[in-house]
Amino acid sequence: MAQPKYSTHLGMVDILPDEIRKWQFLENLIREEAHKFNFEEIRTPIMEQTELIVRGLGQLTDIVSKEIFAFSRGDDNYVLRPELTAPVVRAYVENHLDQRGGSQKLYYIGPMFRAERPQKGRQRQFHQFGVEVIGSSDAVSDVEVIAFMIHIYHKIGITNTTLKLNSIGDPDSREAYKDALRTYLKPNYEKLSEISKKRFEKNPLRILDSKEEEDQPLIENAPLITDYLNEESVSHYSRVKEYLTDLGISFEEDPYLVRGMDYYTQTAFELISPDLGAQDALAGGGRYDLLIEEIGGQPTPAVGFAAGIERLFIACEELGIDLGGEKEVDVYIVTLGDHARRWGLKQLPKLREKGVSATMDYMGRSMKAQMKDANRENARYAIIVGENELNEGKFTFRDMKESKEEALSFEEISNLLAEQSA
C-alpha cells in the first residue's frame, strides 16, 4: 500500500471507533469501582517540569536517564509525564490537599509517555490507571490499594494473575542491606555482568532482578533484604501480609522484587499475568514514604499503584474476554423523497429528547441502501417514511430483529421507543 503522507509517531497509535467501546467500558468500570472505594479522580497536565520527574523518580533510573520526552521553550523545561505518582504528589503539595484533612484517596486514568523501543505491550504513548493514597502509613492503606487493583482485574474476569510482594524496608534498613549486598558481591565483582557492575555502587538492589546469565549464581546466594529489615519495617510488612490474608488475597513473596523508581520504600508489589509474553507486568506499585518530602512537602507517607491499560486489553484478548460489545442505535429513520427526509430530520431531536438514540441517512441513498445501513448500524428499529405515510400520518415501524412491522402514528412510535430505552 502506498505510504500515507502523514502518520503517527513511532510507538503511538490511534484508538479508532471500533475499539473505543472497550476503552469506555473500562473507564466507566474504573470510575464506578473507584467510587465504591471512595477514591476521587485527579487530572494533572500531560506535561510537567523536567526537574520534578528527575528528582521524583531518580536521576539514575532507566525512565529518567533514557526514556523521557523532554524539550525546552524559553527558560522552561517540559517533559511528557512518564508516570503519574510524582505529578500527583506535586499536585498534592502545590494545592495543599493535606488541608482537606485525613488521607487523600486519589485515582487517575490517562496517557503516559516513554521513549522506548515499542513491542508487544509496550508503546511510547500508553495508558495507565492508578491510585495514590497520600497521608497514611498504616498497612490498611497498602492493602486497600492492592485490593482495589486486584478488584478491577477480577471484575473483568482476569483472575489467573500472580501478586508478587516484597518489602524493601525503610531507608535505614535499605542502607544496611545495600552494605551487606556490596560486601557479599565485592569478592565476586569481576564475575558480574557489565550492567550489574554499573549498578554496584549506586543501586545494588537492582542487581537482584538482573536477567543476565552470569549474575544468576551470585544472586541465588545473595543475602536477602528480608533479613535486614528493622523492627518497624518487619512489623509493617507482616501487617500487610496479614491483612491481605484476611481479605483472601493470595500473594507470592519475592525477595528479589525491586521496582524501577527510586522513591519506593517498604511495600513493593507487582501483578503478573502469564498471558502477556515478555512484558508480563499488568500493574505495579508500592509505598513511597519519602517522595512528598523529596518534592518539597511535609514528610508524608503514601502508597499507590499504576496499571497498564493496553496490557489489560492484551490479557483480555488472550482470555477471550470481550469488553466492548456491539455498537447500536435505538432507531434509524429510513426516508423516501425530499419531504420524508425533511420530516425525518425534524423528528430526530424529538426522539433524542426522550432518551432515544436516533439517526438517519446522510447521503440521500436508496431505500435498500438505507435499510442495509440500518442493519449495519445495528439499529433496533427502523421508521420507514414516504409519501404514503406522510399523507396518512401512520408510519411503518419495523422491528429489525423480529422482522415485523406495523403502522403507527409518530406519537405511538416515540412513546414505545421511550419506554424501551427507559
We find the least distance from the C-beta atom of residue 233 to RNA, in angstroms, to be 21
Range 170-200 burial, b when 16+ CB lie within 10 A, else e: beebbebbbebbeeebeeeeeebbeebeebb
361: contact with RNA by CB under 7 A: no
Nearest to 282 by CA among 104, 154, 413: 154
Binding string to RNA for residues 211 to 230, with x set by CB under 7 A, is what?
Answer: xx------------------
Q: Which of 223, 365, 416, 418 binds RNA (CB under 7 A)?
A: 365
CA distance 48 to 287: 22
We find the least distance from the C-beta atom of residue 126 to RNA, in angstroms, to be 4
We find the least distance from the C-beta atom of residue 102 to RNA, in angstroms, to be 26
Q: Which of 235, 366, 409, 415 binds RNA (CB under 7 A)?
A: 366
CA distance 151 to 248: 12
Cell of 406: 406495523
Amino acid, single-letter form, for residue 406: E
Contact yes or no for 413/397 (Cβ under 8 A) = yes
Q: Which of 27, 209, 275, 412 binds RNA (CB under 7 A)?
A: 209
Q: Which of 87, 135, 204, 284 binds RNA (CB under 7 A)?
A: 284
156: contact with RNA by CB under 7 A: no
- Of the CA atoms within 13 Å of residue 90, those in its CB half-sphere come to 20
260: contact with RNA by CB under 7 A: yes
Nearest to 413 by CA among 345, 315, 332, 340: 332
Cell of 67: 526514556
Residue 178 main-chain phi, psi, to 5 deg: -60, -40
192: contact with RNA by CB under 7 A: no
| Number of residues counted as binding RNA (CB under 7 A) | 70
Q: Which of 261, 290, 351, 356 binds RNA (CB under 7 A)?
A: 261
Choose the binding region for RNA from 32-40, 150-158, 273-281, 294-302 (rule: CB under 7 A): 273-281
Residue ranges that bind RNA, judged by CB under 7 A: 1-3, 7, 10-11, 61-63, 83, 114, 116-123, 126, 128, 195, 206, 209-212, 258-261, 270, 277-284, 306-308, 310-311, 336, 365-369, 371-376, 382, 384-389, 396, 398, 400-401, 403, 405
